[in-house]
Structure 1
Amino acid sequence: MQTTYFWIGLAVLLVVLDLWVINSLWRSDNTRGSKARWTAVVVLLPYVGAAIWAVAGPRGVTKGPSSPEHSKG
Protein backbone atom coordinates (compact mmCIF):
# COMPACT_ATOMS: atom_id res chain seq x y z
CA MET A 1 0.00 0.00 0.00
CA GLN A 2 2.77 2.46 0.90
CA THR A 3 4.58 1.64 -2.33
CA THR A 4 1.49 2.81 -4.21
CA TYR A 5 1.58 6.18 -2.42
CA PHE A 6 5.25 6.51 -3.30
CA TRP A 7 4.56 6.05 -7.02
CA ILE A 8 1.56 8.37 -6.93
CA GLY A 9 3.70 11.00 -5.21
CA LEU A 10 6.44 10.53 -7.79
CA ALA A 11 3.94 10.91 -10.65
CA VAL A 12 2.50 14.09 -9.11
CA LEU A 13 6.01 15.47 -8.67
CA LEU A 14 6.77 14.70 -12.30
CA VAL A 15 3.64 16.48 -13.55
CA VAL A 16 4.31 19.56 -11.39
CA LEU A 17 7.96 19.66 -12.48
CA ASP A 18 7.05 19.36 -16.16
CA LEU A 19 4.35 22.04 -15.91
CA TRP A 20 6.79 24.40 -14.18
CA VAL A 21 9.48 23.79 -16.82
CA ILE A 22 7.06 24.23 -19.72
CA ASN A 23 5.61 27.41 -18.20
CA SER A 24 9.10 28.87 -17.68
CA LEU A 25 10.14 27.77 -21.12
CA TRP A 26 7.21 29.42 -22.94
CA ARG A 27 7.68 32.66 -20.99
CA SER A 28 11.28 32.95 -22.20
CA ASP A 29 12.30 35.13 -25.13
CA ASN A 30 13.45 32.30 -27.41
CA THR A 31 11.86 31.61 -30.78
CA ARG A 32 8.70 29.53 -31.06
CA GLY A 33 10.64 26.74 -32.78
CA SER A 34 13.13 26.55 -29.94
CA LYS A 35 10.31 26.53 -27.39
CA ALA A 36 8.54 23.74 -29.27
CA ARG A 37 11.70 21.62 -29.42
CA TRP A 38 12.36 22.08 -25.70
CA THR A 39 8.74 21.26 -24.90
CA ALA A 40 9.01 18.04 -26.92
CA VAL A 41 12.20 17.07 -25.07
CA VAL A 42 10.63 17.75 -21.67
CA VAL A 43 7.41 15.88 -22.50
CA LEU A 44 9.08 12.88 -24.15
CA LEU A 45 11.87 12.54 -21.56
CA PRO A 46 10.24 13.87 -18.37
CA TYR A 47 12.94 13.81 -15.66
CA VAL A 48 15.87 13.71 -18.06
CA GLY A 49 14.38 16.46 -20.23
CA ALA A 50 13.81 18.71 -17.20
CA ALA A 51 17.38 18.11 -16.04
CA ILE A 52 18.78 18.87 -19.50
CA TRP A 53 16.64 22.01 -19.68
CA ALA A 54 17.86 23.13 -16.25
CA VAL A 55 21.48 22.90 -17.42
CA ALA A 56 21.28 23.97 -21.07
CA GLY A 57 17.87 25.55 -21.56
CA PRO A 58 16.83 29.12 -22.17
CA ARG A 59 17.57 31.63 -19.46
CA GLY A 60 15.49 34.48 -18.15
CA VAL A 61 11.79 35.15 -18.07
CA THR A 62 10.89 38.22 -20.08
CA LYS A 63 7.16 38.43 -19.42
CA GLY A 64 6.61 39.52 -15.85
CA PRO A 65 3.42 40.75 -14.20
CA SER A 66 0.94 42.29 -16.60
CA SER A 67 0.43 45.48 -14.61
CA PRO A 68 2.55 47.75 -12.38
CA GLU A 69 0.08 47.08 -9.55
CA HIS A 70 1.60 43.62 -9.09
CA SER A 71 5.00 45.15 -8.40
CA LYS A 72 3.88 47.41 -5.55
CA GLY A 73 4.97 46.35 -2.11
Structure 2
Amino acid sequence: MGIEVGGLLGLLILIADVWAVINVVQSGASTGAKVGWVVLILLLPVLGLLIWLIAGPRG
Protein backbone atom coordinates (compact mmCIF):
# COMPACT_ATOMS: atom_id res chain seq x y z
CA MET A 1 0.00 0.00 0.00
CA GLY A 2 2.90 2.41 0.65
CA ILE A 3 3.91 2.32 -3.00
CA GLU A 4 0.49 3.51 -4.17
CA VAL A 5 0.46 6.41 -1.71
CA GLY A 6 4.01 7.43 -2.67
CA GLY A 7 3.14 7.22 -6.36
CA LEU A 8 0.05 9.34 -5.90
CA LEU A 9 1.99 11.92 -3.89
CA GLY A 10 4.68 12.01 -6.57
CA LEU A 11 2.05 12.50 -9.27
CA LEU A 12 0.43 15.36 -7.34
CA ILE A 13 3.83 17.05 -6.90
CA LEU A 14 4.54 16.63 -10.62
CA ILE A 15 1.19 18.18 -11.55
CA ALA A 16 1.76 21.09 -9.14
CA ASP A 17 5.27 21.67 -10.54
CA VAL A 18 4.02 21.67 -14.14
CA TRP A 19 1.31 24.16 -13.14
CA ALA A 20 3.91 26.36 -11.42
CA VAL A 21 6.25 26.28 -14.45
CA ILE A 22 3.37 27.25 -16.77
CA ASN A 23 2.48 30.15 -14.46
CA VAL A 24 6.11 31.30 -14.33
CA VAL A 25 6.41 31.26 -18.13
CA GLN A 26 3.16 33.23 -18.50
CA SER A 27 4.12 35.80 -15.85
CA GLY A 28 5.39 39.28 -16.62
CA ALA A 29 8.79 38.61 -15.05
CA SER A 30 12.02 39.12 -16.97
CA THR A 31 13.41 36.22 -18.97
CA GLY A 32 16.26 35.74 -16.50
CA ALA A 33 13.86 35.60 -13.57
CA LYS A 34 11.66 33.10 -15.41
CA VAL A 35 14.64 30.85 -16.12
CA GLY A 36 15.74 31.06 -12.50
CA TRP A 37 12.31 30.12 -11.16
CA VAL A 38 11.90 27.24 -13.62
CA VAL A 39 15.34 25.85 -12.71
CA LEU A 40 14.55 26.15 -8.99
CA ILE A 41 11.22 24.38 -9.39
CA LEU A 42 12.75 21.59 -11.49
CA LEU A 43 15.80 21.02 -9.27
CA LEU A 44 13.90 21.18 -5.97
CA PRO A 45 10.35 20.06 -6.84
CA VAL A 46 8.77 20.40 -3.38
CA LEU A 47 10.91 23.17 -1.86
CA GLY A 48 11.06 25.11 -5.15
CA LEU A 49 7.28 24.96 -5.45
CA LEU A 50 6.82 26.22 -1.90
CA ILE A 51 9.29 29.07 -2.42
CA TRP A 52 7.60 30.00 -5.69
CA LEU A 53 4.17 30.02 -4.00
CA ILE A 54 5.48 32.44 -1.36
CA ALA A 55 7.81 34.68 -3.36
CA GLY A 56 7.34 33.94 -7.06
CA PRO A 57 6.34 36.36 -9.80
CA ARG A 58 2.67 37.15 -10.12
CA GLY A 59 0.60 37.24 -13.27
TM normalised by structure 2 equals 0.95
Q: Once the two structures are superposed, what CA deviation does each residue of 1:3-23 show, in whole Å capped at 9, x if it has no partner?
A: 010011011011101000000
* Structure with greater Cα Rg: 1
1:35 maps to 2:34? yes
Q: Percent identity?
A: 32
User: Runs of 5+ in structure 1 lacking a partner?
Assistant: 61-73
- Which secondary structure state, in structure 2, belongs to the residue aligned with residue 48 of structure 1? helix
Aligned to 2:52: 53
Aligned to 1:12: 11
Aligned to 1:66: none
Relative to its length, the structure with more helix (as a share) is: 2
For the aligned residue pairs, the C-alpha RMSD in angstroms reads 0.6
Q: CA separation in 2, counterparts of 1:51 and 1:41?
A: 10
Equivalent pairs, count: 59
1:3 maps to 2:2? yes
Q: Once the two structures are superposed, what CA deviation does each residue of 1:46-67 show, in whole Å capped at 9, x if it has no partner?
A: 111000001100012xxxxxxx
TM normalised by structure 1 equals 0.78
| Structure with the larger RCO, 1 or 2 (CA within 8 Å, 6+ apart) | 2
User: Runs of 5+ in structure 2 lacking a partner?
Assistant: none
- Which secondary structure state, in structure 2, belongs to the residue aligned with residue 49 of structure 1? helix
